[in-house]
Amino acid sequence: MKNSRRVMAAAAVLGAGALALASCGAAPEESGKSGDAAAKDFLGCIVSDSGGFDDQSFNQSSYEGLKKAEHDFGIKVKQAESKANSDFSTNLNGMVSAKCDLTFSVGFLLADATKAAATANPDVNFAIVDDSSITLPNVKSLTYDTSQAAYLAGYVAAAQSKTGTVATFGGMKIPTVTIFMEGFAEGVAKYNTDKGKTVKLLGWDSAKQDGTFTGDFEKQDKGKTVTQNFLDQGADVVMPVAGPVGKGAAAAVKETKAGGKDVALVWVDSDGYESASQYKDLMLTSVVKAMGTSVEDVTKEAKDGKFDGKAYVGTLANGGVSIAPFHDFDSKVSAETKSEVDALKQQIIDGKIKVEAKK
């Protein structure tokens, strides 16, 4: 999908020396820092999907994780930013030619190209973020059970809603998107059950396992239109699950808030208060995938000669997913709601609550 706990640290690294991102068709760019000889010789590479490394979502978080590894371990880094889906194979093959020790593909859209590159180059290691469809010994999948954290966000959204209506929408109808939406829906339903309320959810129907989608992860105007429609129907908390399209949703919420209405956003993938700081005053919370952390961890394993193709799944239990702090909304979220969310989190970790999202 389109879209970490270490964003602040990684951002500081990026601020110390910004890189020009490689455009499609150009040679991937390289940078490096001093370190031990083994680290200096290790080349970690990353290929974005068409959202780019500045998407304020999962491409950016993954990239910042690799940059953090560069800073912490002294490795070298190459990156290639895809402008269109047709760039994926070219960029991945470019990384093979560059003799990368480990190449990250960011997003399920790169699955076919990654599988082809890994099959053709069995001695080259790859890792793919947000996809688990590849079963090859030289490919490690990094996925995140975001339904667990989205459940908590849905509960909070329902608790904070003044209109009794909240909403969500996705970029495309794919599992890495719909698990957010289903988890959010189940959290809203839990609030209604526990509190005897009837908070309405727009944009996702759990019974039908279907909802509202913009059809892509790039066109922000679609996100703005969909969100404005939800706001017009009375929604006062909206969770876009659509990568950069979420910026369009944020624009609609910002305009509505400027008009005097009390509305808020739930961001996804990264802590939107930090990664989309131009909209930080709108951020109730975020459903966070610790992509940067897992990318850095896998890079270290590979650097130390411990790479394996065993799948990684981020959960509430291992810290791979979470909800972000309430930041500016902290004083508006009651102590009771905070306590209830903490209890729900523990029940999910203990297996007493099972989020039924199809993965």
Give me the residue label for tokens 């490096």: 32
Confidence (pLDDT) at 107? 92
- Select from 82, 142, 143, 144 the least CA-distant residue to 113: 82
Instruction: Please tell me the CATH superfamily of domain 146-289+319-349, with its number.
Output: Response regulator (3.40.50.2300)
pLDDT at 35: 45
| Chain-centre distance for alpha carbon 251 | 19
Tens digit of each residue's pLDDT (9 = 90 or more) over 253-281: 999 999 999 999 999 999 999 999 999 99
Q: What pTM value is reported for the model?
A: 0.83
What stretch of H or E contains 137?
A: none
Return the structure tokens found at 347.
Answer: 């029940």
User: Residue 27 is encoded by which pair of tokens?
Assistant: 């040679």
**What pLDDT, in 10s, does the model give residues 127-140?**
999 999 999 999 99
Tell me, which fold does domain 7-144+291-314 have in CATH? Rossmann fold (3.40.50)
Give the whole-angstrom CA distance, residue 326 versus residue 76: 36
Tens-level pLDDT at each residue, the chain (359 residues): 444 333 333 333 333 343 333 334 444 544 444 445 567 799 999 999 988 998 878 899 999 999 999 999 999 999 999 999 999 999 999 999 999 999 999 999 999 999 999 999 999 999 999 999 999 999 999 999 999 999 999 999 999 999 999 999 999 999 999 999 999 999 999 999 999 999 999 999 999 999 999 999 889 999 999 999 999 999 999 999 998 999 999 999 999 999 999 999 999 999 999 999 999 999 999 999 999 999 999 999 999 999 999 999 999 999 999 999 999 999 999 999 999 999 999 999 999 999 988 76
Q: 146-289+319-349: same fold as 7-144+291-314?
A: yes
Output the DSSP codes for 299-329. Answer: HHHHHTT------EEE-TTTTSEEE---GGG
Nearest-angstrom CA–CA distance, 296 and 301: 9
Do residues 39 and 96 make contact, with C-beta atoms less than 8 angstroms apart? no
pLDDT at position 263 is 98
Q: Where in the chain are the domains? A: 7-144+291-314, 146-289+319-349
| The two three-digit tokens of residue 268, written as one number | 């996804």
Alpha helical stretches, state H, 43-110: 58-73, 88-97
- Taking the CB of residue 275, how many other CB atoms lie within 10 A of it? 27
d(CA 326, CA 284): 6
Per-residue pLDDT tens for 145-201? Answer: 999 999 999 999 999 999 999 999 999 999 999 999 999 999 999 999 999 999 999
Q: Are strands 237-241 and 139-144 parallel, antiparallel or unpaired?
A: unpaired
3-state helix, strand, coil in the chain (%, to 5): 45, 20, 35
CA distances from 164 to 24, 79, 80, 235 (A): 46, 45, 44, 8
